[in-house]
């Protein structure tokens, strides 16, 4: 269960979301006093698909992963919510009166502030600064979603896997600690496809695979994979 904010969580909220300091007192004080503070352990589901959106989450620390899952257990990551961000799907759900269409899960230990849906909707109507903040969230996330659509529609899976590995490898020889199933979930493909492509990369000397991890051996050569565009 969550709890009302103390002074520490209030200061953490204002530090993560400086825009809130600029709200009028009539908007800021209800937001600070009525929001619910929660600490989520890794893997905890904050909202499941098909549920009513009762609160808007503001992430203070950690990461929320927003993803879709089908009946066969296949997952596809839509986006992540990092500190200082919120969830546009939840905002849309609240404004439209609909249901949440995905799953929100704590990827690591995550601290969130939950704004009651009724208060969020009222602030949208009454406070121009809050509206600008929410529309800014939409704008930034729309760029991410469009990039995701372009990636899925126009890039080969091997290009996407190479990009995925490089994004998680900070230096040559880095280790990407993810299973094949996790990479498949991230990219919206099957574990078998990921395994096949990683075996191809391994045969070319680009990576070395082991249980739960992939060693990046030749990052410059792997990066060349990401420059290969499919013929349309």
Containing structural domain, residue 105: 3-152
If asked whether residues 16 and 106 sit together in one domain, one would say yes
Among 97, 117, 152, the domain-final residue is: 152
In angstroms, rounded to a whole number, what is the distance separating the alpha carbons of residues 42 and 64? 9
Residue 230 in this model has a pLDDT that exceeds 60: no
If asked whether residues 145 and 166 sit together in one domain, one would say no
User: Is there a contact between 99 and 139 (Cβ–Cβ < 8 Å)?
Assistant: no
Comparison of pLDDT for 176 and 13, the residue scoring more: 176
Among 131, 152, 173, the domain-final residue is: 152
If asked whether residues 118 and 100 sit together in one domain, one would say yes
Distances (CA, A) of 226 to 32, 74, 81, 135, 148: 45, 25, 25, 32, 15
Comparison of pLDDT for 77 and 87, the residue scoring more: 87
91 in any annotated domain: yes
232 in any annotated domain: no
* CATH assignment of the domain containing 174: 1.10.10.10
In angstroms, rounded to a whole number, what is the distance separating the alpha carbons of residues 84 and 17? 5
Tell me the three-class secondary structure of 75-123, residue by residue: EEEEEEECCCCECHHHHHHHHHCCECCCEEEECCCEEEEEEEHHHHHHH
230 in any annotated domain: no
If asked whether residues 148 and 159 sit together in one domain, one would say no
Instruction: Give the pLDDT confidence score for residue 79 in this predicted structure.
Output: 85
Residue 141 in this model has a pLDDT that exceeds 50: yes
231 in any annotated domain: no
If asked whether residues 163 and 146 sit together in one domain, one would say no
In angstroms, rounded to a whole number, what is the distance separating the alpha carbons of residues 94 and 48? 15
Q: How confident is the model at residue 231 (pLDDT cuts 50, 70, 90)?
A: very low
If asked whether residues 121 and 159 sit together in one domain, one would say no
Instruction: Give the pLDDT confidence score for residue 28 in this predicted structure.
Output: 86
Compute the average pLDDT of residues 193-216.
88
Among 94, 119, 152, the domain-final residue is: 152
Instruction: Give the pLDDT confidence score for residue 122 in this predicted structure.
Output: 92
Which stretch of 7-11, 42-46, 175-179, 209-213 has the lowest confidence by average pLDDT? Answer: 7-11
Which stretch of 126-140, 141-155, 179-193 has the lowest confidence by average pLDDT? Answer: 141-155
Q: What residues contact 15, with CB distance under 8 A and at least 6 apart?
A: none
Residue 111 in this model has a pLDDT that exceeds 80: yes
Residue 143 in this model has a pLDDT that exceeds 90: no
- The number of distinct structural domains making up the chain is 2
Residue 88 in this model has a pLDDT that exceeds 60: yes
Which stretch of 104-108, 186-190, 205-209 has the lowest confidence by average pLDDT? Answer: 186-190
142 in any annotated domain: yes
What global pTM score does this model have?
Answer: 0.66
Q: How confident is the model at residue 232 (pLDDT cuts 50, 70, 90)?
A: very low
If asked whether residues 159 and 148 sit together in one domain, one would say no
- The mean of the pLDDT values for the chain is 84
Residue 84 in this model has a pLDDT that exceeds 70: yes
140 in any annotated domain: yes
User: Is there a contact between 40 and 18 (Cβ–Cβ < 8 Å)?
Assistant: no
Instruction: Give the pLDDT confidence score for residue 152 in this predicted structure.
Output: 65
């Amino acid at each position: 269960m969550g709890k009302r904010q103390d002074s520490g969580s209030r200061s953490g909220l204002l530090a993560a979301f400086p825009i809130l300091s600029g709200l009028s007192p009539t908007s800021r004080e209800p937001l600070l006093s009525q929001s619910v503070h929660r600490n989520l352990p890794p893997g905890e589901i904050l909202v499941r698909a098909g549920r009513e959106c009762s609160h808007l989450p503001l992430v203070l620390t950690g990461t929320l992963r927003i993803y879709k899952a089908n009946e066969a257990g296949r997952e596809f990551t839509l986006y992540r919510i990092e500190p200082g961000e919120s969830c546009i799907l939840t905002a849309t759900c609240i404004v439209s009166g609909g249901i949440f269409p995905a799953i929100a899960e704590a990827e690591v230990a995550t601290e969130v502030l939950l704004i009651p849906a009724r208060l969020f909707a009222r602030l949208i109507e009454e406070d121009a600064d809050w509206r600008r903040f929410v529309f800014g969230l939409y704008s930034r996330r729309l760029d991410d979603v469009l990039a995701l659509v372009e990636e899925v529609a126009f890039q080969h899976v091997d290009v996407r896997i190479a990009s995925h590995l490089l994004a998680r490898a900070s230096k040559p020889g880095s280790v990407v600690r993810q299973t094949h199933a996790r990479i498949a979930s991230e990219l919206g493909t099957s574990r078998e496809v990921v395994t096949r492509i990683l075996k191809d990369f391994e045969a070319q000397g680009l990576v070395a695979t082991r249980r739960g991890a992939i060693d990046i051996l030749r990052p410059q050569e792997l990066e060349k994979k990401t420059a290969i565009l499919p013929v349309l």
